[in-house]
Structure 1
Amino acid sequence: MRTSIFVLTVVLLCLSLLLPSIASAQRTPDLSGIWSVGGVRTLSNETPPMTPAGQKKFSSNKPSYGPRAIPPALGNDPAGKCDPLGLVRLIFFPRPMEIIQVPGRVLQFFEWNHMWRTIWTDGRKLPEDPDPRWFGYSVGKWEGDTLVVQSTGFDDRTWLDQFGNPYSDEMRLEERWRRVGDTLELAMTLTDPKTYTKPWVSEKKLFKLQPKEEIREEICVPSVEAEFNRRTRDPAAGVTNK
């Protein structure tokens, strides 16, 4: 009898310890699914003032879109060489993105170039001096129904958007992801004192759930892109290849 009571007590104690974590897991919002953003190309229509270093870098970028657009063959958009787009530009790129949640991390899979990204949610801190990465190093935590992501350690050899807005290796990015039904809301705050004189706060971006979609293989192939440039873009801009 005493043994039965002891066993029952141990079981109840274990359950009392497990139930809060189980309940917490059940309360974690579900962001999973395939999402698509439309009509978004940059954080907001108003770019914050640039520092002299930021302005110099911006002036050297020659985009094929926006008020400074020139023919692609005369520009230097990294995307024209199939270089990685960088995180912000990839998130807003007009291709589907899939989110998968697993214990300790949230994974984002992007159709364009079949890229993927890890957001660590296991309680770790951002590293002090991470090696530069195209998508940075990201950690996230839940604040109510919102996944708050902090990222740093970005490789600055690409652009923020198709308009040639730059960033530096000092950029820090905060993302706030929140699901409302079949809509995923995103707000970003970009802080980069080397490039901008104040934080760049985005407008709220909306992603729509695509339940019948799947992530296809769409890869930018450097040899194919180079051939397209030679046959199409360069002649259209009057560039002669000898």
Structure 2
Amino acid sequence: MILTSHAGETERTFFRVFCISNNLRAMLESENLPAFLKNFGTMIEQAMGGDEKTALLGLFAQEAEPTAIVDEKKVTPLPRDVYQGLLACVRRDPTLNCSGNYRSIYDTSSSGQIVLNAQGHLLSSIKHKGRRFCPVSHHVGDSNVIFRVSSNGDTGMRILAMGQIQLIFVHKRRRPDGTDWHQLFVAIRRYRALSQRDMPHDTYGRYTALRAGLVYEALAVPVEVIPVRNIVAHCVTCPYRNSGTSEACMVAFTLDEVSSLF
């Protein structure tokens, strides 16, 4: 893999973590681990090859998110599917709606509810947890991410998924107490998991140290909107050619903040 000045942060992170993890794994399996590290063999095995899907190696708080203020001179109407996704996101998460009852700007039949603003300030990139994230239209590599499906307000186990960022925007909404809240959101299309019929073709998933697996190349049609705080890390996708699968697939690799998704 050749790294040039044009390589994105995703490519650089992938290359660095790939080398570190494989060097550690090789030393662990060949029993050449330095003496002072042998006591940490179990920890290294779990970090580099464990199967806990939600284990995080980063030092950043899960709910940390960058702050931004809407520039009123740069706001634009959100695409309707993105707006509907934003409305669904705000409605289901108590930490986003603050017990307020939001309705769509297109819903004229309801009254006594807060109308959710349908405009946003679109961004070409953001810095989050020390990484750069971009919409796919600006940089494909930095648009592939791992994100938490369940919101901050949900209870129970939080599920991770892979997706591709379509839009990044700052949104301003009125809260029940009359104040305005500026917050960063992303519109994502999810990578689809293999069907049971195609699962036997996933030769990567059996090797947990690779932290890789197959997903379908065609993204899910619905757009999901999540707060930026739900983005966990980058991921990498590469073309995969196998006539045995029902449709074209990609090999997806998780990166340094997640132990495994497969």
| TM-score using structure 2 length | 0.23
Higher strand share: 2
Q: Which has the larger radius of gyration?
A: 1
| TM-score using structure 1 length | 0.24
